[in-house]
Structure formats: structure tokens, C-alpha cells
Amino acid sequence: MSELQSLSGRSALVCGASAGIGRATALALARRGASVAVLARREERLVALLPELIEAGAEKAVAVVADLDERDALAEKLLVLLADFGAINILVNNTGGPPAGPLLEATEDAFLTAFSRHVLAAHRMVQLLVPGMIESDYGRIINVVSTSVREPIPNLGVSNTTRGAMASWAKSLSRELPSGVTINNVLPGFTDTERLDGLRTAVSKRTGKTEVEVQAGWMAQVPEGRLIQPQETAETIAFLASPAGGAIRGVSLAVDGGRLRSI
């Protein structure tokens, strides 16, 4: 592996690492030689992932069992992690989106919960981790967001609103971070994850269509004509996390098989 692709000697924190894109990303970073801390609520899944990370090539692998809704407790656990790792060079912000539903029916609490889980939790983590990135002269912050940043998705009103706020936060921050510390957003399309399985079922119940019909409707919007695999998104994140991605800053990059119609 070239020096531009290698993450040997770097450390990463991957949120939402118990499944889907987060899990695939942790493994992709491990294959490049990074030490990897994986964060999620499901302890048993994180513990099972640790030996896989070591086998893939991680110099070190640890589990951080935490809930992004509990920011004070999260901060305490990150301070413990920093004492162990010294610094975190790569932060992957990734968590499940808010429940589906019409925007007009959304409660204030739904907005507050979503904003807290996504924007405020990410902001707290960045404030804690960026000093170490600056000190080590290497930092990468990658947010796993949604294509709704550019084109709102029907019946996901709270998610659309929150994802847009997340992208605006990241773009603003990209102008403040020092040289050597970057922030970017990855926008997954229809990706073969547990969350998409749940969304397919929910759409089927709401519309009366079969799940096969729901997915066929989705694929009709995707020029690639298939679901994106979590590993494909993970490889994009790993590139942005590597020295090779150092000139990319403040962008929102879709990994969606061409589904977005906007430029």
C-alpha cells in the first residue's frame, strides 16, 4: 500500500460501528493499518468486531459503548479514550436517521432529538478531538449524512431538515479548521443495510405495495440499477481519511449509484 493510502500510525473513532456503513468503515480503516475505536450502543456487536479489526490490520482496536443522545456521558468516555490513544486523527460521524413521517405531523421533540443526536453530538466530539488533530498535524472528520442534503426525500421531513443542518455545520467548520485538518460529508444512496430494510418495510406498510415493489421503485431511480454495498461507501470514507484525500475539504460527496439528479 502506498504512503498516500496508508493510515499506519493514525487512530480513528468510528461511530455507529455495530452494523452497516459504520462497521464496514471500521474494517476499511483497519485494512489501512489504523488503530480503530468503534462506538455504538450494542456492546456485544462491538466486542465481536474487535478481533476482526485486528485480523484486518488494525494496530489496536477498542470498543466504546456509548449513546450519542447522552452527550455528557459520551464526553467522559471520549476523555478516557484519548488518555489511551493519545489523539484521535480520524473521526467518522455516523448514526441512524430519525423515523419516517410527514413533516407537518412532526413534533418539536422529534426535531430536538434528531438535532441533538446528529449536530450537537458531532459538535461535542469535534471540540474534544480537534486539539489532538492539530497537535499531531493530521485530522480528518467525515460525516455520513444523506443524499437529502441536496434533494429532500419524501416522508423523511425531520431527517431532511437535520441532515441539511449537519451539512451546513460541516461547511461552516471547514472554513475554520486549520491546515491539515479537514471535514467532509459522504452522502449514501440506497445502501444495503439494516436501516434500509426497516425503511422498505415501513414504506410497504404505508403504501400497500409489496417490499419487492418498493425496492423496484427505488432502483428505477438509480442508473446503476442496484443497491450500494456498505463496503463501497466505506472505501470512499477511507480515501477521504487518508493522506491522498487531504486536498478535499468541505464537500458533500454522493455515493448513490447516480441517483441524485442535481449537479
Q: Where are the domains of the chain?
A: 11-191+229-255, 193-227
Helix H or strand E encompassing 188: strand 181-188
252-255, strands of its sheet edge to edge? 61-65, 35-40, 11-15, 90-93, 139-144, 181-188, 252-255
Helix H or strand E encompassing 183: strand 181-188
Which of 41, 38, 47, 15 shows the shortest CA–CA distance to 125?
A: 15
The string of pLDDT tens digits covering residues 10-57 is 999 999 999 999 999 999 999 999 999 999 999 999 999 999 999 999
**Residue 57 CB-density burial (10 A; 0-12 exposed, 13-18 middle, 19+ buried):** middle
Rounded CA gap, 130 and 127, in Å? 6
Rounded CA gap, 166 and 161, in Å? 9
Confidence of residue 194 (pLDDT cuts 50, 70, 90): confident
Fold classified for 11-191+229-255: Rossmann fold (3.40.50)
Model pTM score: 0.94
Give me the pLDDT at residue 234, please: 98
Confidence of residue 186 (pLDDT cuts 50, 70, 90): very high
